Structure 1
Amino acid sequence: MMAEPTEIQSILGLDVSRDTVTLCDGRRHTVTVANEADALRAALQPYQGTTTLAVCEATGGYEDILLGVLLELAIPAHRADPAKVKAYIASFGKRAKNDPIDARWLSRYGRDRAATLPRWQSADPTQQKLELLVARRLDLVAMRVQEQNRLKAPRSRLIADNIRDHLAELERHIEALNAEIDTLIGESRDLALRAQQLRSVPGVGPVLAPLLLAVIPELGTLNRRQVASLAGVAPHPKDSGKANWHRSTTGGRRQIRPALFIAALAACRGDNPLAVAYKALLKAAKPKRVALTAIMRKIITIANARVRDAVRHQNEIGKINA
């Protein structure tokens, strides 16, 4: 949810590190405090009840304590994408970097873009746990691929038994995570409903459905262009003057595109409308790569629409019963 631009009068830039947080309220003066709840609460207390927007960067979890204190004090916050902040700073041609400088830049970034910055909201505990479990599963699967590649290497014969033991251990951990993910989804009425709708889409199986729930929690609230862009399957123009290049699909959340590719392959081999659409594209002389990308886009847009419709229907039934 976003506040009106007139509600924000000042911007608080907060540069977060593992041990400290540096604050800048828009002036040159900065202050550094420990990245601990009590220290942050004392430093942020003067801003409680004021029209202040706090801006920090995503730091892989080191900002969690800060965001918790901001939520407790009812100070609106924005967790910025580090890549966007870095590009913003680079646009001024600046290179100097330390904690106070970064805090000042965050304050300036927030001041220039306050009207369009989404406000951070705490994640649902179940959703947060699902994201962690799915992320861990992705890590273990990547490790498994690495070990499988090592096992095939000609010089790995002397350590093949060790690699096989590690592969077996990874398989056990992955299976345990799969069971934990299924249990978590089954215990949540909302996640179970969304997962059921996702599994009804051709090509979406027991791996992709939890991945979509974890990586695109906005599924069902976006339009078809937005969800395609988030999944990295939206064609972006690359034209200049008289030059018209092929449109390419770039960006999006990096975990989704490889899984959608596998889902598209599975869907195209089945007996369903997506397979028919794929064959029609090939018959129209489209390259297989282009046709598969189109099917990937269809899968994510259909999934988004089905989740949206199911959630709306559930909400309507809830209102009637109330």
Structure 2
Amino acid sequence: MAMVHVGIDVSKDRLDVHVLPDGLAFAVARDGAGLASLIERLLPLSPHLVAVEATGGFETVVAATLAEAGLPLVVVNPAQVRHYAQALGRRAKTDPIDAAMIARFVEATQPEVRALPDAATRLLSDLVARRRQIIEMIVSEKNRQHRTTVPRIAKSIARLIKALEKELVEIDGEVDTAVRGSPVWRAREDLLASVPGVGALTARTLIAEMPELGTLDAKRIASLAGLPPYTRQSGRWIGKAMIGGGRKTVRSALFLAALVACRHNPVLKLFRDRLVAAGKPKMVAVIAAARKLLTILNAMLRDEKPWQSA
């Protein structure tokens, strides 16, 4: 019996569904009644995989509902699905076509099913993301403040910066309360922050954005962060290896932590210096240090042991 794969395209008002291999296609409203109808129709099919695209927030309730119903859910990257469609020569793009492409993509690639973060972890992730957005807004306003010569505009910018900084303090307080109020998160933060170069912000970003840390092997956890280099070669041409993909926020946090660790962490400093002495560019050495740092943090959480320099 052929395995059943389901692709779901999520839009603001409805869900387009495509089922393989029989080609069944239907749509339901993106509300409580529609989700209940969707679950009722999918459960008897016993699907091998049910996939939805990450669509900037619209998929959150849908994914949570499917997971709670016990369906094998995967959330896929829309860029990967689109590249897959382009590779097949499918240029047309409608919601039903997208649902079919999602189903074909997961049927071909068989992505791994991962448990969704619980409500508390999702809240912490949202708070960390909001903190990052506020900091970006503060930086933008300060850049405008340096460029303006109009007193009225300068006063407006100053008021907005003050309001944003006040909101940042409140967000930091909520993040601190969430992390320190959970014995599990508090223990994880203390373990992560015991590494020289890893501060509270990096630790909390990892807790919020990478709950798999400590449960996967080194290669898979590095892949989630987009840190392993991939080869670029064609015939005799060999390009520079690049990194990319994965979770950008985690990768950025680890890169900044690695910059600090390469100065103050004896293990990573020695690792980075050896690479530079071997002729590696300094940026490549720091990225390699970030990957090694992630491997160390992953092992520490797995073994529940704090940092030991030796």
Contact 1:37-1:69 at 8 Å conserved across structures:
no
Aligned residue in 2 for 1:51 = 46
* Alignment pair present for 1:213 and 2:207: yes
* Counterpart code for 2:285: A
Shift of 1:182: 1.5
Q: Deviations over 1:50-98 (max 9, x none)?
A: 3224322222232234334434543333322211211111111111121
Q: Which position in structure 2 is the counterpart of 1:121? A: 115
**Match of 1:237?**
231
SS of the residue corresponding to residue 89 of structure 2 reads coil
Matched, 1:225 2:219: yes
Whether 1:174 and 2:173 are equivalent positions in the alignment is no
User: Distance in 1 between the 2:106 and 2:267 partners?
Assistant: 46
Change (3 A) 1:84 1:30: same
CA distance in 1, matches of 2:278, 2:67: 54
Which residue of the partner structure matches residue 62 of structure 1?
A: 58
Equivalent residue, structure 1, for 2:298: 304
Structure 2 SS opposite 1:275: helix
Tell me: CA distance 1:107–1:142, structure 2 relative to 1, closer, same or farther (3 Å). Answer: same
Secondary structure of the corresponding residue to residue 111 of structure 1:
helix
How far apart are the structure 1 equivalents of 2:11 and 2:28? 11
Partners of 1:61 and 1:225 lie apart in 2 by: 29
The change in CA–CA distance for 1:196 and 1:11 in structure 2 (over 3 A counts) is same
Residue in structure 2 matched with residue 32 of structure 1 by the alignment? 27
Structure 2 CA distance, aligned partners of 1:165 and 1:89?
48
> 53-62 or 20-29: which moved more?
20-29
1:103-123, Cα deviation, whole Å (9 max, x unpaired): 22233334334xx23335342
- More displaced, 153-162 or 89-98? 153-162
In structure 2, the CA distance between the partners of 1:45 and 1:207, relative to structure 1 (3 Å rule), is same
Q: Which of 72, 78, 83 lines up with 1:76 in the alignment?
A: 72
When the two structures are superposed, what TM-score results if normalisation uses the length of structure 1?
A: 0.84
Q: CA deviation at 1:47?
A: 3.1
Structure 1: gaps spanning 5 or more residues: 1-5, 312-322
SS in 2 for 1:236: coil
One-letter amino acid of the structure 1 residue matched with residue 27 of structure 2: T
Find the counterpart in structure 2 of residue 85 from structure 1. Answer: 81
* 2:96 counterpart of 1:100: yes
Map 1:242-257 to 2 at 5 A: 242-257=236-251
Deviation at 1:271? 5.8
Q: Please point out which of 175, 178, 187 is paired with 2:181.
A: 187
- CA change 1:155–1:97 in 2 (3 A) is same
For these two proteins, the number of residue pairs brought into alignment is 304
Judged with a 3 Å threshold, the aligned counterparts in structure 2 of structure 1 residues 65 and 126 are, in CA distance, closer, same or farther, namely closer
Q: Is the 8 A contact 1:204 1:263 kept in 2?
A: yes
Alpha-carbon distance in 2 for matches of 1:298, 1:61:
32
CA shift, 1:270, in A, is 2.3
In the superposition, the TM-score normalised over structure 2's length comes to 0.87
2:28 and 2:37 in contact (8 A); partners too: no
The RMSD of aligned alpha carbons is 2.5
Unmatched 5+ residue regions in structure 2? 306-310
1:256–1:79 CA distance, 2 compared to 1 (3 A)? closer
The residue type paired with residue 147 of structure 2 is A
- 1:230–1:12 Cα change, 3 Å: closer
* 1:148-184 deviations in Å (ceiling 9; x for gaps): 1111114455422221221122112112211211211
Q: Distance in 2 between matches of 1:73 and 1:289?
A: 46
Aligned-partner Cα distance in 1 for 2:252–2:68: 39
SS in 1 for 2:211: coil
